Chain A
Amino acid sequence: MAMKLIFGTGFVVAYSGALGGSAAVSRAVGGHYLAFIVPSGVLIATFASATGGYMLARDIEDGYLDRLLTTPVSRVAIVLAPMLVGAGYAVTQAAAVLTVGAVLGATPKTGALGIAGILSLSALWGMGVTGYMTATAMLTGDVEITRLLDVCSFSMLFFFAPVLLPREDLEGWLQPIARLNPTTYVLEGLRALMLGGWQTSRLIPAFAAALGFAGLAVTAAGLVAQRRTTNN
């Protein structure tokens, strides 16, 4: 979890330092590069919510989940708890990256309500990430496989999104892939709140993508968990 925070804030500090002074870059992104790159840092930090999946995988590996399943605790609570923890991590980490951004001089153009919007998007996205990881943990019951799938899946989602430049400036094969990537829309929504203001054309797709991902992942986690927790 700390690694993702370090990576998220480090990413913001490094790229804003390297590219922030360039007038050409600022022109391309339509504002100060620091404000443009902070949402990318927020996105990296939200991947920390995968921790909820690790926790569950570790509980399965240790046999602790079986112990919990013999207690009169609701099955829904057992599955939902790591997801809520994950969403909580996502919000905390996003807030930390936003704070670092603010210290460096980038505050959201949309003000306090915008911060709430960024944190809400982060929570939804984090819920999706942790839902996906919960499903993986329930399917595999193995911490190492869960970790491997975390790194592979979320690296793909991150690298194939317009992390360093606006989507319009991406070239070649990357642009059509980025268009299919839900991360792109979440990132653009976060950027709108940071740089562009209340742009519904950016915010609706962002919330739709985050909600859709969270819905799918949580449903998948629920189905896998049902199979695992109702005695087979």
Chain B
Amino acid sequence: MRPFAGMRDTPIVVVEQLHKRYRVACNSISAVCDLSFEIAAGEALVLLGANGAGKSTTVSIIATLLKPDAGLVLVAGADVVQRPDAARRCLGVALQIAGLPRRQTARRLLHHHARLHGMSASDTRSRVAEVIERFDLGAIADRSISTYSGGQRQRLHIALALIHHPLVALLDEPTTGLDTRSRQIVWTELRAQLAAGTTLLFTTHDLHEAEANAHRVAIISRGTLVAHRHTEDLKRELGSRTVTLSFMNRREAQRALELVGRGELSNGSEAKLALVGERDALDVIRLLAAHEVDINTISIVEPTLESIFNQLTSEQHPPVTAERQL
């Protein structure tokens, strides 16, 4: 049985007060500043942030490729600086660049990596065959990697990170450059790994993908954590539903906005306003009905991770973390 299996609340990755600065010429640039979060066993956490926010630096530190200037990172209890080998044994890593040796074939490379991670010869054979099938690499598995398309290389890149059923999979932008079908293949396998108990930390710029696949979200802005919550909690607490009302004409729309006292004209005869609380939509409609404003259509849009992400990263916003919730 896998260690940490069934221990959903046990943190398997702990990042505590992490700091990393890069020296560029005479300057020192802070890439990660006082970053803290945890990932429970079997959980999927997505790190979100704009380019240069510090996501890849964080992933590289957890992957034992970079040494932090300060702070602590534990993977399955192993300090990545003090006991990197112990941490590496638990990790499956796919960095942003799909580092693949061009002259190898997918089958040989998968076999090689399974063995590097200590899998037995017989387990390796069956697992390699399984992964080749799951990642739809069968037709090209015995061809040189130099002949692969970008999507095929990326699928192999992710397959290599998962070949040994890692305890923790670190995937830096795993679906960048993939078409819809390839994304589906990758996420089907990642969900299967999650179901089997693998913990997943991934980064992405695709917020729909993040929303659909992560249990928890950590948003980084300029190296600092600005939010760390369950996806639904974040949406509930920070997002606001928006109602769009369309009227007979522009004048009616303007009258409605004056009556409500907030919102904006969005498209000629449409008014868009953010709702506050569960009953707000009803109150607005009642108010407009009381003043005999004719409403044509009403549509309510639920908050999205994208709107929250934009809100948190485009302005100075106080950190929203699980700790604050407590």
Contacts and interface: CB of A to CB of B under 8 A. Distances in A.
B98 interface: yes
A65 B97 CA distance: 11
A58 B66 CA distance: 21
A58 B100 CA distance: 10
A203 to B, nearest CB: 39
B97 A63 contact: yes
A231 interface: yes
B64 A231 contact: yes
A67 interface: yes
Residues of B contacting A: mostly: loop
Interface stretch (A70-78, A95-103, A122-130, A146-154): A70-78
Contact of A72 (B65, B102, B118): B118
B205 to A, nearest CB: 20
Nearest to A232: B67
Given A64-B101, A72-B118, A73-B116, A232 B66 contact: yes
A118 B197 CA distance: 57
Interface in B55-105: 61, 63-67, 81, 84-85, 88-89, 91, 93, 95, 97-102
Q: How large is the interface on A (under 10, 10 to 19, 20 to 34, 35 or more residues)?
A: 10 to 19
Interface string A48-70: 00000000001100111111111
Q: Which of A63, A66, A72 has the most CB of B within 10 A?
A: A72
Interface of B: 61, 63-67, 81, 84-85, 88-89, 91, 93, 95, 97-102, 113, 116-118, 160
A66 B64 contact: no
Contact of B116 (A64, A72, A232): A72
Given A231-B64, A231-B84, A232-B67, A70 B100 contact: no
A71 B113 contact: yes
Contacts of B81: 231
5 contacts: A66-B95, A67-B95, A71-B117, A72-B85, A231-B84
Closest 6 CB pairs of A and B: A63-B99, A70-B93, A63-B97, A231-B67, A64-B99, A67-B99
A170 B259 CA distance: 104
Given A70-B91, A72-B118, A231-B61, 4 more contacts: A63-B97, A67-B160, A71-B116, A232-B66
A164 B256 CA distance: 99
A68 B100 CA distance: 10
Contacts of B65: 66, 69-70, 231
Contacts of A58: 101-102
Contact of B64 (A59, A64, A65, A69): A69
Nearest to B101: A64
B31 to A, nearest CB: 13
A67 B67 CA distance: 16
B2 to A, nearest CB: 17
Contacts of B102: 58, 62
A231 B66 contact: yes
A197 to B, nearest CB: 44
A62 B85 contact: no
B99 A66 contact: yes
A64 B100 CA distance: 5
Nearest to A60: B99
Nearest to B92: A70
Contact of B117 (A63, A67, A72, A232): A72
A98 B81 CA distance: 50
Q: Which of B61, B99, B113 has the most CB of A within 10 A?
A: B99
Nearest to A229: B65
A66 B98 CA distance: 10
A148 B212 CA distance: 50
Contact of B88 (A59, A62, A64, A71): A71
A59 B101 contact: yes
Contacts of B100: 62-64, 67
A232 B61 CA distance: 10
B257 to A, nearest CB: 54
Contacts of A68: 116
A69 B101 CA distance: 14
Given A70-B64, A70-B91, A73-B116, A62 B84 contact: no
Contacts of A64: 99-101
A72 B66 CA distance: 15
A70 B116 CA distance: 11
Contacts of A69: 64-65
A208 to B, nearest CB: 37
A69 B66 CA distance: 11
Nearest to B88: A72
B163 to A, nearest CB: 11
